[in-house]
Copies of this chain bind each other. A is one copy, B any other.
Amino acid sequence: TQVFKIAAIPGDGIGKEVLPEGLKVLAAASERFGLELEITQFDWASCDYYQQTGDMMPPDWKAQLAGMDAIYFGAVGWPATVPDHVSLWGSLLKFRREFDQYINLRPVRLFEGVPCPLAGRKPGDIDFFVVRENTEGEYTNLGGIMFPGTEREMVIQESVFTRHGTDRVLRYAFELAKARKQQHLTVATKSNGIAISMPWWDGRADAMHAEYPEVTVDKQHIDILTARFVLQPNRFDVVVASNLFGDILSDLGPACTGTIGLAPSGNLNPDRKFPSLFEPVHGSAPDIAGQGIANPIAMIWSGAMMLAFLAAGAKVPACYGQAHDAILSAIEEVLRSGPRTRDLGGEAGTAEVGDAIAALV
């Protein structure tokens, strides 16, 4: 039988608190469905490790992870000791880029039992995907500072968009939209202000649309698009966006459904040449770290996404897909009936919620 190798990396802050709950639920699912997961935990890719060694990861990190089927990742970042751009560029952003995880897939869904910050929205009203480009675009360290430390100081920051990188994320999004009921794709842009890259991005979307006539497309500037997330969240089906715009929309979307604490994500290498990475959207949350009150559901849901991604590979037993569905049902049930962490108005701790979901699975 096929054994899947999983790297488990807690990282920093609440990453260390939610990952164990995710593993607990994966263990329960493995037992019930007979999954063969071989899990190895790594304590690097963390600011603790940086403080000891001066690097976020050991020199052979890539070799250590390259044979893995997936990376199950908590969160990284501890700005009190390591600046965010150092910790992130030294770990998460390196994974995304060097393992060519070019799709960042982020579901946005309103669940029963989760108080919605938007007035009058019911479960079912909000159910869409943000498909984010995950390797290039606005996230670069290209550019520099001229006349540093003087009155004339100026900074150039470069964004890089390639046809290769743009077309593959657009294609993924069109395919996803085509497979859904509404067959609708929203393309985030800002071609009225950002004058070189964004008009070009629009042109690539138009070109790709010609291959998917069944998909309806609307392009929306990022400013009004964020407004519509609040005013008409029911109108979205699949939203495709550049790295930065996808980052924004995939925090805003979950906020519109009640809390960032639920939102999972898959950093996918759909070609399966490299391990894909599954992580909660919420980050390390230093403000609540160490108290055992973080909501583990985003981590747990990310684990379910990991099983679904594995299930979609060649010749994988059906139990992986079933395990995904069982975890999702357990999450739904706990959201409906509790226990709930504080962000959802409850008083339960992180482990209590993890236990409840594991028990249901």
Does A181 interact with chain B (Cβ within 8 Å)? no
- Max chain B Cβ within 10 angstroms of own Cβ: one of A156, A160, A193: A193
Which residue of chain B lies nearest to A160 when distances are taken between CB atoms in the complex? B156
Residues of B within 8 A of A221 (CB): 84
Which B residues lie within 8 Å of A60 (CB)? none
Which chain A residues in 269-328 approach chain B with CB under 8 Å? Answer: 283
Chain B residues in 8 Å Cβ range of A243: 193
Measured CB to CB, the nearest residue on chain B to A201 is: B155
A63 touches B (CB below 8 Å)? no
Q: Is A210 an interface residue (CB 8 A)?
A: no
The distance in angstroms between the C-alpha atoms of A140 and B158, with both chains bound, is: 11
Residue of B nearest to A157 (CB): B197
The answer to whether B164 touches A151 (Cβ under 8 A) is yes
Residue A3 CB within 8 A of the other chain? no
Residue A119 contacts which of B118, B142, B226 (CB distance < 8 angstroms)? B118
Write out the residue numbers on chain B whose beta carbons fall within 8 Å of the beta carbon of A194. 138-140, 157, 244
In the complex formed, the residue of B with least CB distance to A93 is B193
In the complex, how many angstroms separate the beta carbon of A143 from the nearest chain B beta carbon? Answer: 4
A231 adjacent to B244 (CB under 8 Å): no
Residues of B close to A145: CB separation below 8 A: 196, 200
| A250 at the B interface (CB under 8 A) | yes
Determine if A226 and B197 form an interchain contact, defined as CB atoms under 8 angstroms apart. Answer: no
Does any Cβ of B come within 8 Å of A32's Cβ?
Answer: no
- A251 contacts the other chain (Cβ, under 8 Å)? yes
Report A252 CB to chain B, min CB distance, Å.
Answer: 4
- Select which of B158, B198, B252 is within 8 A of A230 by beta carbon: B252
Q: A119-B118, A192-B85 are in contact. Are A200 and B251 (CB under 8 A)?
A: no
In the complex, chain B residues whose CB is within 8 Å of the CB of A259 = 231
A43 located at the interface, meaning its Cβ lies under 8 Å from any Cβ of chain B in the complex: no
State in angstroms the CA–CA spacing of A200 and B196 once bound together. Answer: 23
Would B199 and A85 count as touching, CB distance under 8 A? Answer: yes
On chain B, the residues within 8 Å of A141 by CB distance are 195-196
Q: Which of B83, B163, B193, B256 contacts A152 (CB 8 A)?
A: B163
B196 close to A142 (CB less than 8 A): yes
Given A117-B118, A248-B222, the answer on whether A157 and B151 have CB atoms closer than 8 Å is no
- Asked if A260 meets B224 with Cβ closer than 8 Å, knowing A138-B194, A143-B196, A255-B231, the reply is yes
Q: Which of A115, A190, A195, A244 has the most CB of B within 10 A?
A: A195
Q: Chain B: which residue is nearest A247 at the CB level?
A: B223
Closest B residue to A136 using CB positions? B154
Answer whether A191 and B84 are a contact pair too, CB < 8 Å, given A117-B119, A119-B119, A226-B226: yes
Nearest neighbor of A88 in chain B, beta-carbon distance: B192
Q: Are A195 and B85 in contact (CB under 8 A)?
A: yes
Binding site for B on A (CB under 8 A): 77, 83-85, 87-89, 93, 115-120, 138-145, 150-164, 190-200, 221-224, 226-228, 230-231, 243-244, 247-248, 250-252, 254-256, 259-260, 283
Known: A155-B162, A223-B248, A226-B252. 7 other contacts (CB 8 A): A118-B119, A138-B194, A143-B197, A155-B160, A190-B247, A223-B252, A227-B255
